[in-house]
Every structure is written in structure tokens, then in C-alpha cells.
Amino acid sequence: MKVTKDTIIMDVLKMDEGTAAFFLAIGMHCLGCPSASGESIGEAAMVHGVDADALVERINTYLESVGK
């Protein structure tokens, strides 16, 4: 399954817990907080000053490599 900038972070984490490393790397350390439950990848990228397209690409590459 591919993620997009509109995919909710908690949904990504449920797909594979290994994706947490990508969010931690951009400075999003509160993955269990309510914001992560309702925030999209695009919204998180904007808040943390990260290129959303690049983040989505890295996550999708990872998910493909683990067969998700």
C-alpha cells in the first residue's frame, strides 16, 4: 500500500512500526500524541519544515522493501 501526503500518520504507523524512524528523524517525537492520530504526513512535514514529497517517497520505498 502506498502512502500519500494525505495519509494520516497513525495509519502509517499501523502499517509498519518501522516507519516511526522516519517521523522521529524529522523531529516528530510525540508519535503517540493526539496530533499524530489525526495529522497527515503533509501537515507534519509542513510543521517540521520538511519536504513532504521526499518524506512520502522515503516511507513508500521502505514499505516496498518490507513487502507492505
Is 11 a residue whose pLDDT tops 90? yes
Its pTM stands at 0.90
| Distance, CA of 62 to CA of 21 (rounded, Å) | 11
pLDDT in tens, 17-46: 999 999 999 888 888 777 777 899 999 899
pLDDT in tens, 41-55: 999 899 889 999 999
Is 1 a residue whose pLDDT tops 90? no
* Higher pLDDT pick, 48 / 6: 6
With b for 16 or more beta-carbon neighbours within 10 A and e for fewer, the 24-63 pattern comes to eebebeebeeeebeebbbbbbbeeeebebeebbeebbebb
pLDDT given for residue 35 in this prediction: 73
Virtual torsion, Cα 45, 49, 52, 57, nearest 10 deg = -100
